[in-house]
Amino acid sequence: MTTTTDLVSYEDALASYDPVMGLEVHVELGTNTKMFCGCSTSLGADPNTQTCPTCLGMPGALPVVNATGVESAIKIGLALNCEIAEWCRFARKNYFYPDMPKNFQTSQYDEPIAFNGYLDVQLEDGETFRVEIERAHMEEDTGKSLHVGGATGRIHGASHSLLDYNRAGIPLIEIVTKPIVGAGERAPEVARAYVRELRELIRALGVSEARMEQGQMRCDVNLSLRPHGREKFGTRSETKNVNSLRSVERAARFEIQRHAAVLSSGGTIVQETRHFHEDTGSTTSGRVKEEAEDYRYFPEPDLVPVAPSREWVEEIRGSLPELPLARRNRLREEWGVSGTDMQAILNAGTLDLIVRTIEAGADAASARKWWMGELARSANESGVAPDQLAITPDQVARVSELVAKGELNDKLARQVIEGVLAGEGTPDEVVDKRGLKVVSDEGALGTAVDEAIAGNPGVADKIRGGKVAAAGALVGAVMKATRGQADAARVKELILEKLGVSEG
Distance in Å, CB of 34 to Zn ion, minimum: 5
Write the binding mask 319 to 348 for Zn ion: x where contact by CB under 5 A, - elsewhere.
------------------------------
Among 8, 14, 23, 55, contact with Zn ion (rule: CB under 5 A): 55
Ordered DSSP codes for 351-414: HHHHHHHHHTT--HHHHHHHIIIIIHHHHHHHTS-GGGSS--HHHHHHHHHHHHTTSS-HHHHH
Burial state string for 469-498 with b = 16 or more CB within 10 A and e = fewer than 16: ebbebbbebbbebbebbbbbebbbebbbeb
Q: Which is nearer to Zn ion, 34 or 492 (CB)?
A: 34
Q: Which is nearer to Zn ion, 166 or 400 (CB)?
A: 166
Please give the Cα distance from 255 to 421 (Å, whole number). 42
Distance in Å, CB of 36 to Zn ion, minimum: 8
3-state SS, residue 251 = helix
100 binds Zn ion (CB under 5 A): no
H-only helix segments in 131-270: 187-205, 245-264
Q: Which is nearer to Zn ion, 54 or 66 (CB)?
A: 54
Distance in Å, CB of 164 to Zn ion, minimum: 13
Residues 6+ apart with CB under 8 A from 493: none
Q: Residue 108, Cβ neighbours under 10 Å: how many? A: 25
Residue 184 is classified by DSSP as G
Q: Which is nearer to Zn ion, 141 or 189 (CB)?
A: 141
Residues 6+ apart with CB under 8 A from 382: 389
52 binds Zn ion (CB under 5 A): yes
168 binds Zn ion (CB under 5 A): no
Q: Which is nearer to Zn ion, 37 or 477 (CB)?
A: 37
Write the binding mask 30 to 49 for Zn ion: x where contact by CB under 5 A, - elsewhere.
-------x-x----------
Cα separations in angstroms, 150 against 160, 245, 283, 333: 9, 29, 22, 56
Q: Which is nearer to Zn ion, 302 or 497 (CB)?
A: 302
Cα separations in angstroms, 95 against 99, 341, 449: 11, 48, 84
Distance in Å, CB of 62 to Zn ion, minimum: 12
φ, ψ dihedrals at 155, nearest 5° = -70, -30
Distance in Å, CB of 146 to Zn ion, minimum: 20
Q: Pick out residues in 183-222 that bind Zn ion (CB under 5 A).
A: none
Q: Which is nearer to Zn ion, 52 or 344 (CB)?
A: 52
Please give the Cα distance from 373 to 302 (Å, whole number). 57
Q: Which is nearer to Zn ion, 65 or 468 (CB)?
A: 65
Q: Which is nearer to Zn ion, 39 or 245 (CB)?
A: 39
Q: Which is nearer to Zn ion, 51 or 409 (CB)?
A: 51
Q: Which is nearer to Zn ion, 62 or 304 (CB)?
A: 62
Write the binding mask 413 to 452 for Zn ion: x where contact by CB under 5 A, - elsewhere.
----------------------------------------
Ordered DSSP codes for 104-157: EEEE-SSS-SEEEEEEEEE-TTS-EEEEEEEEEEEEE---EEEEESSSSSSSTT
Q: How many residues of this chain bind Zn ion (CB under 5 A)?
A: 5
Distance in Å, CB of 48 to Zn ion, minimum: 11
Distance in Å, CB of 97 to Zn ion, minimum: 18
Q: Which is nearer to Zn ion, 55 or 397 (CB)?
A: 55
Q: Residue 155, Cβ neighbours under 10 Å: how many? A: 11
Ordered DSSP codes for 67-87: HHHHHHHHHHHHHTT-EE-SS
Please give the Cα distance from 4 to 421 (Å, whole number). 50
Ordered DSSP codes for 430-445: HHHHHT---B--HHHH
Distance in Å, CB of 167 to Zn ion, minimum: 11
Residues that bind Zn ion (CB under 5 A): 37, 39, 52, 54-55
